[in-house]
Amino acid sequence: MLKDEYKKVVKQFDKYYDNYKDFSEMISLKYDHSYKVDNLMEELGKRLNLDEEHIYLSKIIGLLHDLGRFEQLKQNNSFSDALLDHAEYATDYLFKEKHIRDFLDNNYYDSIIEKAIKNHNKLKIEDNLTEEELFYAKMIRDMDKVDIYHQVASHLSHKFDFIPSEKVVECFYKGESVPKDILKNNSDHVLVYFSFLNDINFKESFDILEETNNFNEYTDSIKVTKWGPIFNVLQNDAKKIIEYRNDKEKIKLLRKEEDYGRIK
Ligand SMILES: [Fe+2]
């Protein structure tokens, strides 16, 4: 039963964190984030009618998904996956080096946990996952984003102070995620976070996002020093994506050619 094993996961996670906590102040942020995402995964699991065993599986994925952040911050004091991909680091540590057994005796769910962690930070989920692997990969991507809005609002400061790049705006309105290599300015970075909304998989995730108020907390925290009217259009359209949940038909109407025109 994963419910009984969960205590061991928590104990080992805290022990692992203890080895890292003195390297960077930012490590404690990721520690808190891990527990928040654990709780959010539990909430989403309940709303998706999972049984108790699978709710605990969701929680374990939530708690372990950012394990690689600790080593990433220790090595580079940065959240850059270009320097060290924290998801790859975590899956190597847990599954190639078999440290997952320090956390969990039950090996039945290994591939689900591995694929969920591996895919949580990628632009898109890899092909050829099983239906179950894909389901948990989608769950973690959604709940990670919900708390990331809160994390950024409380600990980082995003600025909107330049006209966003055309390609980035296009990605947002096409319903795509924004690849990092096309970012040119601070406002493009804001649009990366707005475009997260295009990659939320369950309507229940939108419900949770709305109830937490984390997206509003994020937008309120952005320092808009220039191009305010453009920011307002983008912000309103982002809020409409939340309002429309996964209704692609309604979202399509939002992405009219005029919208691109309004931004250019
Ligand atoms: Fe992560």
One digit per residue, the tens of pLDDT, for the chain of length 264 reads 999 999 999 999 999 999 999 888 889 999 999 999 999 999 999 999 999 999 999 999 999 999 999 999 999 888 888 899 999 999 999 999 999 999 999 999 999 999 999 999 999 999 999 999 999 999 999 999 999 999 999 998 899 999 999 999 999 988 889 999 999 999 999 999 999 999 999 999 999 999 999 999 999 999 999 999 999 999 999 999 999 986 777 777 776 555 555 555
d(CA 107, ligand 1 centre) in Å: 23
d(CA 16, ligand 1 centre) in Å: 16
Predicted local confidence at residue 199, as pLDDT: 95
d(CA 253, ligand 1 centre) in Å: 32
d(CA 58, ligand 1 centre) in Å: 15
What are the residues whose beta carbons fall under 8 Å from the beta carbon of 13, sequence distance 6 or more?
34, 63, 64, 67, 103
Radius of gyration for the alpha carbons in the chain, expressed in angstroms and rounded: 19
d(CA 140, ligand 1 centre) in Å: 9
Q: What tokens appear for 155 in the block?
A: 């600990």
Distance between CA 150 and CA 194 in Å, rounded?
13
- Strands, E, within 112-166: which ranges? 159-160
Predicted local confidence at residue 263, as pLDDT: 59
d(CA 41, ligand 1 centre) in Å: 14
d(CA 172, ligand 1 centre) in Å: 21
Distance between CA 99 and CA 87 in Å, rounded?
15
Q: What tokens appear for 70 in the block?
A: 């600790």
